[in-house]
Structure formats: structure tokens, C-alpha cells
Structure 1
Amino acid sequence: MMKERITIFHTNDLHSHFENWSQIHQFLTQERQQLEQAGEEVLLFDIGDHADRSHPLTEGSAGKRNVDLLNNAGYDAVTIGNNEGITFSYEELNDLYRDANFEVILANLFTAEGQRPDWARPYLIKTTKSGVKVGITAVTAEYPVFYEKLGWRISSAKDELKAQVRAMKEKVDIIILLSHLGIREDEWVAEECPEIDVIMGGHTHHVLENGRLHHNVLLAAAGKFGMYTGKVEIEYDHVSGTVSGKTATLYETGELPEAEDHTERWFEEGKQLLSNEITVLNQPIHHNPLEASSPLSHLLAEAVLDWCDADLSIVTGGLLLHPLEAGPVTEYDLHRILPHPINPCLVELSGSELKEVIRQSRHQNWPTTVIRGLGFRGTILGEFVFKELVEKDHQFYVGNEPVLAEKTYRVATVDMFTFGFFFPEMHRARKQYFMPEFLRDILKEKLKGYAR
């Protein structure tokens, strides 16, 4: 055999969009079967963010059902994205892949003590029937503050990557990187690590229809939400001992053959897993995201204020997607109204910074602004709601005391307001993130024993 073809299928950033999974599963299973019957080598990888806790099935099973789906589709290896890494608790992530039939490759995650978790390995070498050795390594995006808060240590992806390439390059014929870093970082890697043959990427949800050669490294990526499945073909020349060709293709899920749809069943299963009752409401708690007086917005603002033990709190109505009806309230109900993987946060602001944040929050277009990313899983931002802040005669008061320019105030809010998109003051400020609790967990505590 002069030349050999190795086919690799890849997915990334599904974010628990299971409405596309039945078709993807069927496509991958059939394609693999056909190729393997023809004697070809086939590998299957996921590049992270397969699990997203905004779906009831992922939430109710702590991601375990995502692993089942990957098992059933015959994946060879996966890496993690930030949704696996920083939206599950330390214990949940440590247990997530316990029943995985595939390898988890991840070079830049360690315990607080500096040990690699026992469920992950920094690289993997696969040998084809003819003896070609394929080395695979993987890295994920760095969110050091969040990982540290959860009990992990995330190291420099680029440094780890270079170390793994050095460790592998004498042992393998082909090097593949599974990168949950984003397109710009992948381009940097292609420039800095010419030994890598193919980078399969994710995180920034970029779509590379036929891949892209960057410094002779093939970049491949399949967008987001299971809208595409990627295929990379590598041709290896046994005579010269080199990669003689590499191509990338994307398959659009909407154009794949119809498959038996399990979307509804998976949703109902998730709902059942979240059927635990929290409280019983005598009356509904109404909600309008565009009203500063919305009762549910005020309850959330109060819950965040108490949780963070702050002087005042700031939330928005758009965080809450529905009102709460009278009668039993289950964990599913709270998940439905607060599906976001968003954590509470305590920010320290001076009085003058606080006034500037209030001024910015009154931008007339903000309540109806459509928000994407930042962990937000709703649509519009909604009206800003303040707890323990009062304005009278053009003067702001916190706890009945006028706001003083030099005084420091403890402001309870949500993590997405600290990422720089909204308030530069909060981005720069000293802050404390509360993890792994999400807003729904905070509201749950508030509602326990609460009836109205």
C-alpha cells in the first residue's frame, strides 16, 4: 500500500441542541460502517461544549446523558469546553466521564494540587492497521478565575500544547489537535506549531466549510448547535513517510437523511429528572421583563442580595423568562425560567463608580437589546432592577444613607455584567464569583418554605 486514507468525523459546540442529534448520530454510524467495511480507518472526535445545562436533560442528569449519547454514537475521544469545565461543580465534572467508552483528552487542566484528573489524558496515540501512528492532543479555553473557584487549576493552553507536541512528535506520523480555544488562537497555534497537521476547533462557533490551510496546517470547524458535522480526510504516503494530502468537508444537518426524532422524549426525560418539588405558591408571582416593578424581578434581586450579603443588588428582568404559576413549583419550573449558566457575583464599587453604573443602566435602548453569549440563554436584557437603592430629589440612597463618592459599596449582581460588555467599572472592580451556584439555585433557596 503506497498511500492510506484516514477519515476523521468531528463535532463541536452542540450545546445540548438535541433536536439535531438523531440525524447526526445516524449519519455518523452509517458513514463509519460503510468506510470500515471498505477497510478504511475512521476516527470520531467531539471538541467540547457538547453539554449545556440550559437543556433539562443535561441539567437533570448532570451531563451524564450527554456522555451516553457520545457512547452510543461510538466516539473515540472528546475534549471539554468551558460548559463542561466551569458550569458543573468539581464533583460533577470529576464524575461526568466515569462511564465513558471513549478517551477524554485534555492537556491543560489540573487539580488544585497540580495533578492531572484521572479521567483525562494529555495525549493519545492511535495506530492504524498498517502501523501509521496518529497522535492526538487537546486543550480548552482558559478561565482561570472560574476554574480556581471550582477547585481546578487551568494552565496555559499554548505551553501545554507545545509540551505535548514535543512529547509526541518522535513517536507519531500524524499530529492532530482538538482545540476548544477559538479561531484566533487556532491560527496562532498553526503558526507556532508547524508539526501539527490538523486542528479541529470550536468555542467561537466558526464555520469552515472546506477547512482552511493556515501556514500549511489544516483548520477545521463545524459551527455550533449541531448544525453541521465535520469530516477531515488525511492521506498518508508510506513511501515518503509524510502526509501527502488533507481536506475538510462540512455536512449540513438539515440536508442529512431524516432520522427517528427523540427530541421530545429527551426533553420529557429531563423534565422528569427535575420533578422534585421546592414549594407551593398560593398565588402566582407575575413577571414582565420590561417593568422595573415586576414582582419576580424583585424576588430575584432580593435573593441575590441575600446570597452575596451585599449593600444593594442589580439584576435585569430579561434574566427571568417566565412568571411562576400558583401551585407546586418544581426544579424544572426554576430551570425553565432561569436556564442560564450564570453565577451571582459580588462587586466592590466606589460611590462615584456606582453612580456611573446607574447612569449607564438607564440607556433607553438596553431593556429591549437582544443579548447573545455571556452565558445568557434568554432573548432581551430587560429592565434594570435595583434592591436597597432609592432615588429621591436627584440623590441616591443605599440603606437610608446618601451614596458618597469615596465610600466602597458591596454590589450583588450577575457575572455577565462583569465581563466588560456592559459596565467597565464592574470589569475593573474587585469581585467575588459565587460558584457553582447558578441564579436558579439562589432563587430556589429563597423560595423554599415561601408561599404567597
Structure 2
Amino acid sequence: MTFAEDRVMGSSARGGVLLVWLVLASACAGTGPTGGGSAVPEGGSPEVERSRVILLHDNDTHLHDNHRDEVRRFVEGVRGAAPSVFLVSGGDVLVRHSHLWPEGEGIEWYRREGLRQIEWMNELEYDVMVSGNHELEPHEMVTREILDAARFPILAANIRIETEQLPRHPAYHILTTEDGLTLAVLGLSVINFEAPPGLVEEGYHQTVEAHRALAEEHDALILLNHIGIRYDLELANAFPEVAAIIGGHTHTLLPEAIHVNGVLVAQTGGHHHVRNPESEMTMGVVVLEFEDGELVESCGWVVSIGPQGVRPAGAYRYHAERWEAPVPACAA
């Protein structure tokens, strides 16, 4: 059993112990080469005040908004226990494949269910989202109508949109904490279908390179990606100045986030394109700790939220990308 599982297993019914541990009692501790490491110099004082930023995240929900009361309770509980908590989406909240819509349903179903999903995200007060490939299919401008209802920015730095069928997506968004730290969130997406005129995907590496200065201008640079675990790992190796990569697209479940080249990489799994009203929701928790504006520790893990409350997400698994690695403990 991992450290995270040991701390939260007894709180699956309510999630209360998890929240206390998460926000008040835990600190990300180094775990060797994969951990964040200690920021206390030899002979220095360990009593350095830290600023903690928490990023709650999900990805590939595909019109799943199950167990709303439990999800709301979890999000509000974390927000109530810490001053700097942000809620972000790794994309693919919609289902673009019409053949996977319920039998006999058409574009009006897509409009209704898409708006319902965005309204739920508005209610939860998401701070930012990256566009997934399922948000890039126009569907007679209905997708634009759905996305225009969002009260949060939807990013796509590497997608050039020159059509009125879809809204323009900003490249990045700045999150500001209660104590004045700024986090630049850069969004990357993918077009994995025959794109309509006016929709062009640009390279991941060249896009991050073009925005590299954000890492110097702000206290942290976060990549909010919908490009798949393989490319998340490539970018982590190429850009060590990135603080964290929150991913999506390949439905990869990392129960505990991993460090690659010093960059935290996290993803929460995802849901099938056909809605299952019984499936539990997953939500990731990324913790970034700062001293004097410098990132000194980072860690993350994933929880499942359902009728039994909050519990650790299952064993490591992968989807689509055949990549395996040991999953380190997030804290020690």
C-alpha cells in the first residue's frame, strides 16, 4: 500500500481525513530521483514558510457528470481548507462521434448534453480548460454554441482557428494565488481527424518554445495538455523549466504523479465515449510548494469519487500508449 493509500483508505466514506491530510498536514517530501527533493540547505532552518498551490484536475470526462453531490463536496472541501486552489480540465468534455450518441439521437441531443456539461463546470467554477479534440469538431456550429457558454477560458496554443465555426482559443491563462504567486497555464491540443478548412495544428515543441519566456515571467509554467502521455513525457524531457504537465487524451491513469526530468506529470484516466451513469468520477490533486517564489516541491495523486465517498484511484494502468514505469510514492 502506498503512502497516499494508507492516509486516505480509512476515509473513503466521507473523505474528511483526506482533506485534512491533503491541505493541512501533508507536505510533498522528496522520494529520491523521482521526488521533488528537500529545499532546506545544510545547517539551515527547516522552519521556512511555504506557499502551497493545489490544482484539482480531470480529463476526458466525455459528458460524464456522475455523483455530483460527492464531487461538489470534495471540491468545496478542498477549497475551504486551503487559500489557493484551482480547478482545471484536461479537455474532451464532449463526444464528437455521432455514431456513439444514443440510438435515435442527433444534433439536438449533442447540444443539450454539451450545454449541460458546461453548465455543470460553470457551477463548479472551473478556472481553465484546454480544448480536447472532441471540442474541435464544429458540428454545424453547435460546438461553438456549447463552448461559448463556458465562464472559464478554453486554451489551445498550438491550434490555429481561422473559421467562425469555432471560438478562438487563447494560448495561455494566468492563475494568481492569494499571496500573489502567478502560474502561467499553457494549453496544447491535438487534431486527430480530418480537419475542416480553417483549423490547423502546429507542433508541440515549437509552441512551447515560443512561450518559453512564461517560465521566467511567472512563478511557474504549467502545461495543460490534451496530446497524450507519450508527448507529455517528451515535453518534460525537453523543457525542464516546466513545473508540471497535466495531461489528457490517452486516458492514462497515474494514481500518483511522476517526476520526469524534474517535471511533475499527472493524468487521471478518463471515461468511455458512451456515458455510463454508474461510473465513478476521478479527480487529480497536484500540489506545488513554493519558498520565496521558488518552486521547491511538487507531488500529485488521483482519487475516485462515487457513492462510497473519496478513495484512492486503482493500480497504475495505461490506455492507447504502451508505456510503463514504476509509480513512485508522492510523499515519504
Normalised by the length of structure 1, the TM-score is 0.51
Correspondences of 1:143-292 after superposition (within 5 Å): 143=192, 146-147=194-195, 149=196, 151-166=198-213, 168-225=214-271, 227-238=281-292, 241-254=293-306, 257=309
Q: What is the CA deviation profile of residues 197-220 of structure 1, one whole-angstrom value per residue up to 9, with x for unaligned ones?
A: 100011111111110001110001
Amino acid at match of 1:171: E
Tell me the equivalent position of 2:144. 94
Answer yes or no: is 1:81 the counterpart of 2:132.
yes
Amino acid at match of 1:232: V
C-alpha change, 1:132 and 1:18, in structure 2 (3 Å) is closer
Q: Secondary structure at the match of 2:52?
A: strand
Amino acid at match of 1:224: G
Answer yes or no: is 1:141 the counterpart of 2:162.
no
Q: What is the CA deviation profile of residues 371-413 of structure 1, one whole-angstrom value per residue up to 9, with x for unaligned ones?
A: x99xxxxxxxxxxxxxxxxxxxxxxxxxxxxxxxxxxxxxxxx
Q: CA deviation at 1:58?
A: 5.8
Q: Is contact 1:97–1:119 with CA below 8 Å preserved after alignment? A: no
Q: Is contact 1:190–1:214 with CA below 8 Å preserved after alignment? A: yes
Q: Is contact 1:7–1:234 with CA below 8 Å preserved after alignment? A: yes
For residues 185 and 93 of structure 1, what CA distance do their matches in structure 2 show?
Answer: 26
Q: Secondary structure at the match of 2:92?
A: coil
C-alpha change, 1:136 and 1:182, in structure 2 (3 Å) is same
Amino acid at match of 2:209: K
Answer yes or no: is 1:126 the counterpart of 2:172.
no
C-alpha change, 1:151 and 1:21, in structure 2 (3 Å) is farther
Correspondences of 1:223-372 after superposition (within 5 Å): 223-225=269-271, 227-238=281-292, 241-254=293-306, 257=309
C-alpha change, 1:20 and 1:137, in structure 2 (3 Å) is same
Tell me the equivalent position of 1:357. none
Gaps of 5+ in 1: 259-371, 374-452
Answer yes or no: is 1:47 the counterpart of 2:90.
yes
Q: What is the CA deviation profile of residues 402-429 of structure 1, one whole-angstrom value per residue up to 9, with x for unaligned ones?
A: xxxxxxxxxxxxxxxxxxxxxxxxxxxx
C-alpha change, 1:151 and 1:20, in structure 2 (3 Å) is farther
Q: Secondary structure at the match of 1:63?
A: helix
Tell me the equivalent position of 2:329. none
Amino acid at match of 2:189: T
Identity in percent: 25
Amino acid at match of 1:104: I
Normalised by the length of structure 2, the TM-score is 0.68
Q: CA deviation at 1:153?
A: 1.8
Q: Is contact 2:257–2:265 with CA below 8 Å preserved after alignment? A: yes
Point out the structure with the larger strand share: 1
Q: Is contact 1:63–1:96 with CA below 8 Å preserved after alignment? A: yes
Q: CA deviation at 1:177?
A: 0.7
For residues 169 and 110 of structure 2, what CA distance do their matches in structure 1 show?
Answer: 22
Q: CA deviation at 1:254?
A: 3.6
Tell me the equivalent position of 2:62. 15
For residues 197 and 90 of structure 1, what CA distance do their matches in structure 2 show?
Answer: 38
Q: Which has the higher contact order (CA 8 A, sep 6+)?
A: 2
Q: Is contact 2:67–2:307 with CA below 8 Å preserved after alignment? A: no
Tell me the equivalent position of 2:117. 66
Q: Is contact 1:89–1:150 with CA below 8 Å preserved after alignment? A: no
Q: CA deviation at 1:195?
A: 1.1
Point out the structure with the larger helix share: 1
Q: Is contact 1:123–1:135 with CA below 8 Å preserved after alignment? A: yes
RMSD: 2.7
Q: CA deviation at 1:106?
A: 1.4
